[in-house]
Amino acid sequence: MGGRKIDESNVDEFIEELKNRTTGKYINQGVAFNKNCKRQMALLRNALMDSSSFSGLIKEMLAVRYSDKPKEEAAVLDIPKTSNAVYGGTTKDNEPENNFSGWV
């Protein structure tokens, strides 16, 4: 699968392949942190301090990130609206601040 371009035409097939080659109930996707990068170590530290579950934090971040999709797309994807409580960031209009640009 390495280097394979995933787009709208093949994403469902790719997910099915992941499901088929994975034993158990879950599909695991990983993230690696460079021990020599101060920024990445700071991100890991903050993530671990902010949540009792790294996996849960990442799933919440993904839910927040993709909750900005147009309503019809979100309905197809069954993406729930989530609070921004984990991050505490809001704009002056009290809308969640979902800017994850600049993350590694």
Give yes or no for residue 71 having a pLDDT over 60: no
Give yes or no for residue 9 having a pLDDT over 70: yes
Q: Does the pTM of the predicted model rise above 0.85?
A: no
Give the pLDDT band (50/70/90) at residue 60: very high
pLDDT tens, residue by residue, 18-59: 999 999 999 999 999 999 999 999 999 999 998 889 999 999
- Please classify residue 64 by burial: count the beta carbons closer than 10 Å to its beta carbon, then call 0-12 exposed, 13-18 middle and 19+ buried: buried
Taking Cα atoms as reference points, which of 45, 21, 17 lies closest to residue 33?
45
Domain positions in the chain: 11-60
Q: Rounded to a whole number, what is the largest CA-CA distance in the chain?
A: 46
Taking Cα atoms as reference points, which of 32, 14, 101, 69 lies closest to residue 5?
14
**pLDDT mean across residues, the chain:** 76
